Structure 1
Amino acid sequence: MDTLVKQDPAAPDGFFESEAAGLRWLAEATATGGARVAAVIAVSPGRIELERIRPARATPEAARAFGAALARTHGAGADAFGAPPRGWDGPGFIGRRPQLYARESSWGGFYARERVRPFLDLAEEAGSVTAAEARGIREACERVASGAFDDDEAPARIHGDLWNGNLLWDDAGGVLIDPAAHGGHRETDLAMLALFGAPHLGEIVAGYESVHPLRAGWRDRIPVHQLHPLAVHAAGYGRGYGVELAAAARAVLALPGV
């Protein structure tokens, strides 16, 4: 097997170990039809060795098969909303930024508190959102935290950072890399794929729904689940993402509850 080594002696404590824990946790579902995951060969402080994925073009058929597999990965479940990969008690990250885990019975409070607000604070400090925009975003967070978008679904085993760059394609189909894995809401991964333009997204969704149909109104709720990635990007990549974040917050405030 060809491998790829990523290393950084200055990486935060637990950085690569957290990545390995997430990959292995997601990979537990592969044997029962879940999404393929880049195999972890070895991990140590400052270094991780992974299976190398040989790139190929995504096809509609591969996208549909990936969507079905992602639904099965989500269905493998998690211990709680915000829970880390089972057996991992170290730090969590999205990219290189730390983010906290939690163990909650409802999704909205966890999501607003640990996935949106910390990055909103950073985005405001960076000047990516105005004070007026930040007030509107915090109001949207309060609505999410109130449980307005909670439902009766169990915590899903989600990738947590499923933008297009973390979904690779080879001759056998889609492969997950570089997760921020935790117990979350299954609509979150699909919303991030929509935000950053996954190829053949309609086929991915069709494959997903062939295994586990999505709750009515899920497309309207996409802005709820995009608050997190937009806040992360506004914290580090400038005003354009802050504008998008504020627009998503306005959309959230206009939505009916579940």
Structure 2
Amino acid sequence: MIELKTPSEIQAMKPAGKFVGGILKDLKAMTHVGTNLLEIDEFVHKRIVDRKGAESCYVDYAPDFGTGPFAHYICTSVNDAVLHGVPYDYNLKEGDLVSLDLAISVDGWVADSAISFVVGDNPDPEDLRIIACTEEALAAAIDAAQPGNRLGDISNTIGEVARSYGYPINLEFGGHGVGHIMHGDPHVPNDGRARHGYKLRPGLVIAIEPWFLKTTDEIYQDPGDGWTLRSSDGSRGAHSEHTIAITDNGPIILTDRGE
């Protein structure tokens, strides 16, 4: 069921959004060649412990698309991994493409956001291009999240940007409703038909998350950890995400990182 938030409830969601956005901003600044993925996980763990009212949305999360409960505080997906990456003992190398996905509840309200970036001084231009595509698609989709538009307008906007870059689109995983839980209605696919679907109304809070792979739309679940989703052909991917609230005055980015 799709739940609409009151203006006061949207206001109450802002601390969670600011907290998540701030952590991701800090992680991007501190992550470099040699950073271990478990260091990233522990950084998030400590920030959650130190913040009154904050709880991880990932630890012990056990949906039907994973294998057993997730046991970490952030998703760290590297290179051919694009979603649900499980942190492990790996030191990042020059040129690694990293996607960080973070969802935290603060005082009972959830915020969910993701960023992708390349570590080191010599990024592959093709990595920067796919990251730019996800960021452009996210910005355009947020612009389309206006009261009176349709959910299909958001999805179609994402798909159009992906097609303009020449990237294939996977519809299995996408955006979603956000509130007291991390994954709620409605599902927000990364492609769709404009002017179709649920009519956007003030009070709707959703996570919009374009993610693409360079040369395939097919993914598989890493059998080693039962969670990490990788490209079927080894090509790299990128992922950008914000939690937004639709208001009478247009969309508000709750997880804005102030960049």
Normalised to the residue count of structure 2, the TM-score between the two structures is 0.28
Identify the structure with the greater helix proportion.
Answer: 1
With normalisation by structure 1, the TM-score equals: 0.28
Identify the structure with the greater strand proportion: 2
